[in-house]
Amino acid sequence: MAALLLLSVKNQTRLDQLDILIYCDPRFAGFFEDLSAKSGIPITVLSSESSEADVVWACWRRYDIFEIFDISGYSSVLYLDTDILVDGDLAEILRAAETKSVTPLAAIAENPLPIGAHPNAEWWGYDLFVDAGEQARLKDRQGFSSGVLWFRPVPEIRTMFQDMFRTYEAFRDAGKIAGSFYHTDQPYTNFLAISRDLADTAALRGLAKNNPLPSASNPPLLCHFSGGMGNSNKLAKMVAFILASDSMGPEIRGYAMALDQLRKDPQDKPASRDHIFHSNIEIARRDIDKHLYGIVTQNAGFAVRYGPFGEAGVVYRTERNSWASDRVMKVLGLHESSLHPTFRSMAQRRRGTAVIDLASGDGYFAAGLGRLLAAPRIVAVERNTRLHAICAEFVAANCPAAMLTQLERIDAAGLEALLQDGPAILLLRADGQEDLPLQPDRIPHLHRAEILIECHEFVPKLRNVIPDISQRLAETHAATIIEERDIVPSDVPELRQMRGIQRGLIACSARPAPVRWLHLVPRAG
């Protein structure tokens, strides 16, 4: 990725206008020196040994810049992560930041939502603001990526860089780190820059973008292919963008083609290639969904259109879940449409039954089934606690009379306690943990539950999940397999009006393989 970044800089930027510094582990120094010699890109390579050299270590070391290199003679510095392509003159970015930024640091805003309203607010240090009593500073403030940072080498920035690791150590040593992301630099960059009024997220607007599509017209100058640390699909996204671009020169295109061929080598692991492909499809679906959800709801409102949830009058309004890729299919009522006959049958047989949704997400099934069945109680279990507020709003809008219980986790004992209160519909979508709670010896009242299980049989350890669970519950439940079925676009006016690529991306599930559901009905009725 670093080679692609450097070759993209060379593609349209006058290199005599820049000094390029690579700070890396000694194991990579030779690679960059060789690349510099072969490509003609002038690179200064600095390396630092560490017994703890890893991705997290690398996140922090770049903030040592004031100590390892004399930058006092530069008007500004631009940090770029290696998952970036420059599609234009890099000097234009520097000029824009220097003339537009009202603070000594400029970065890319990552999401239109304020930090405090985002389900993954820890990416931008939300807990640090709470711990310091600085929540008031988050009003209307957007989090930014630390992958693209422009700054002036002034004392305020030097002090901030020095304070970042100290802040991390204090937070860590106090036992306040709740997730792995708080071991990286970005939460602390956001916390210190925002709390000290040092960050400008407007100066680079329009010049930089996260994850632009390969076919994007008028791409930004800085294309940041962001994702989790070490995310395996970053290189594939960068290669796809280069090969689809008209502005990338022959040198970088040739390098990208060689990487693409290497990635497709028959001896490579097919599972890894499939993961990269499906990850890219999911990213494209998310972008398309964000665009089309606004159009669909603007034209016809937020009432679910079709299927049993549409017939029940379910309303699906969730602007806050803007990172999802399935909102259009949900508001159309077509999400997991293979379950529609089962849901209609439940509405006839199980009205007034409680709903327990494991892995409830934004609450679509919890609220939809709750309304369809007039459920007196809804239990929504979701590990991502940032989704709890969205789920609660959705349930309140559709099931005002239902008692909602939200849990982060549940075990066999917890499930048994719920089923002791009476029969329930149990919806299990645990993404690879389908069979964990279904232990009859530990849940004596499991026979009261009518169960729907989303079965990820493409996961190696779950290849036999359907026969295993069916046999385990054979005495108490009759099992039926529900096959995944495709949506026929011609049957849906809203889909017919979409462009072919939009329709295909929205209607596909982006799963590595078809997903079947296991329906278990209590034999006792």
pLDDT at 277: 47
Q: Which residues have a Cβ under 8 Å from the Cβ of 19 and sit 6 or more positions away?
A: 42, 44, 74
Q: Which of 29-43, 217-231, 389-403, 418-432 has the highest mean pLDDT?
A: 389-403
Does the structure show a pLDDT above 80 at 353?
yes
Of 62-76, 97-111, 232-246, 396-410, which range is least confident? 232-246
Q: Tens digit of pLDDT for each residue in 445-492?
A: 999 999 999 988 877 677 888 999 999 999 999 999 999 887 776 678
CATH 3.40.50.150 in the chain: give the residue spans: 286-522
What architecture does CATH give domain 286-522? 3-Layer(aba) Sandwich (3.40)
| 519 membership: H or E segment, kind and range | strand 516-522
Query: How many Å from the N-terminal Cα to the C-terminal Cα in the chain?
Result: 59
Find out whether 67 and 162 touch, Cβ atoms under 8 Å.
no
Q: Which of 278-282, 373-377, 458-462 has the highest mean pLDDT?
A: 373-377
Q: Of the CATH numbers 3.30.360, 3.90.550, 3.40.50, 3.30.530, which one belongs to the domain with range 2-228?
A: 3.90.550
Share of the chain above pLDDT 70, in %: 83
pLDDT at 15: 86
Does the structure show a pLDDT above 60 at 22?
yes
Which residue stretches of 71-119 are H helix?
90-100
CA 226/CA 217 separation, integer angstroms = 19
Across the range 223-252, mean pLDDT stands at 77
Does the structure show a pLDDT above 90 at 275?
no
pLDDT at 255: 77
Q: Between residues 81 and 271, which one has the greater pLDDT?
A: 81
Of 75-84, 311-320, 397-406, which range is least confident? 311-320
The pTM for the full model equals: 0.53
What tokens does 143 get?
Answer: 């989090």
Does the structure show a pLDDT above 70 at 50?
no
The chain-wide mean pLDDT, for the chain, equals 83
Find out whether 227 and 274 touch, Cβ atoms under 8 Å.
no
Does the structure show a pLDDT above 60 at 432?
no
- 3-class secondary-structure state, position 346: helix
pLDDT at 188: 92
CA 520 to chain CA centroid, Å, is: 32
Rounded alpha-carbon distances, angstroms, from residue 484 to 239, 340, 429, 464, 519: 33, 11, 15, 17, 13
Does the structure show a pLDDT above 70 at 403?
yes
Across the range 322-336, mean pLDDT stands at 84
What tokens does 504 get?
Answer: 């295909």
Local confidence band at 241 (pLDDT 50, 70, 90 cut-offs): confident
Strand pairing of 77-80 and 144-151? antiparallel
DSSP state of 303: B
Q: Tens digit of pLDDT for each residue in 179-227?
A: 667 778 989 999 999 999 999 988 888 888 877 776 656 778 888 887 6
Of 14-28, 245-259, 435-449, 477-491, which range is least confident? 245-259
- Tokens 């998310």 identify what position? 286
Strand-pair partners of 44: 21
What tokens does 374 get?
Answer: 């007039």
pLDDT at 446: 95
Q: Give the other-Cβ count within 10 Å of 252's Cβ.
A: 23
Find out whether 294 and 508 touch, Cβ atoms under 8 Å.
no
Find out whether 434 and 455 touch, Cβ atoms under 8 Å.
yes
Does the structure show a pLDDT above 80 at 351?
yes
CATH 3.90.550 in the chain: give the residue spans: 2-228
pLDDT at 54: 56
pLDDT at 400: 94
pLDDT at 309: 97
